[in-house]
Amino acid sequence: MHSGHISIWFFIGVLLTVYGAMITAYGIYELVSGTLANVVLANLHAPVWWGGLMLLLGLFYSVKFRPGRER
């Protein structure tokens, strides 16, 4: 949004990537270890797909709006 400056979308991308990675990692741990959290519909493994979705979206924004890239 401002030539030479970091876009807000990049900050959002970084945050989503970090959160997505943490939540997906936890979801995979649950999946592998079989110790599910005590929540309803834990069998749907929401941390895996919701965290994965956030990770993908975050990576997309981080790359597309990375500092220095011409838009």
Partner 1 sequence: MFGSTLSAAVAPFMNGTALALSAPSLAHLSGLDIAVIAIYFAMVIWIGFYLKGQANTSEEFFMAGREMTAWIAGLSFVSANLGSLELMGWAGSAYQYGILAAHWYWIGAIPAMLFLGIVMMPFYYVCKTHSVPGYLKLRYGQGASFVAAVSFAFMTVLMSGVNMFAMAVVMKVVLGWDLNFSIIVSSLAVAAYVALGGLRSAIFNEVLQFMLIWGGALLVPILGLVESHGWSGFKEKLAHNISTGLTPAGDYTHMWRSMGHFTDNPMGIHWTGIVFGLGFAISFGYWTTDFLVVQRVLAANNLRSARMAPVIGSFFKMAVPFIVILPGLLGLIVLQNPDGSLMHLVGQDQVNAAHPYSYNEVLPLMLVRYCSPGLLGLGITALIAGFMSGMAGNVSAFSAVWTYDIYQPLIVKNARDEHYVAVGRWATILGVIVSIITAYLVMSAASIMDYVQALFSFFISPLLGVVLVGMLWKRATKAGGFWGLLLGTLTSIGLWAWVKADPSALRYVALSPDARAMAEDMYRALWSVIVSMGVNVIVSMFTTPKTMAELAGVVYGATKIPEEEPVPFYKNEWFWTVIAIIIFIALNVYFW
The footprint of partner 1 (CB under 8 A) covers 1-2, 5-6, 8, 11-12, 14-16, 18-19, 22-23, 26-27, 30, 36-37, 39-42, 44, 46-47, 50-51, 54
Q: Residue 60 Cβ, how far from partner 1 at the closest point, in Å?
A: 13
**Rg of the Cα trace of the chain?**
15
Q: Residue 19 Cβ, how far from partner 1 at the closest point, in Å?
A: 6
Beta strands in 1-71 (DSSP E): none
Tell me phi and psi for residue 9, to 5 degrees: -65, -25
Residues 6+ apart with CB under 8 A from 11: none
Minimum CB distance to partner 1 smaller for 36 or for 63: 36
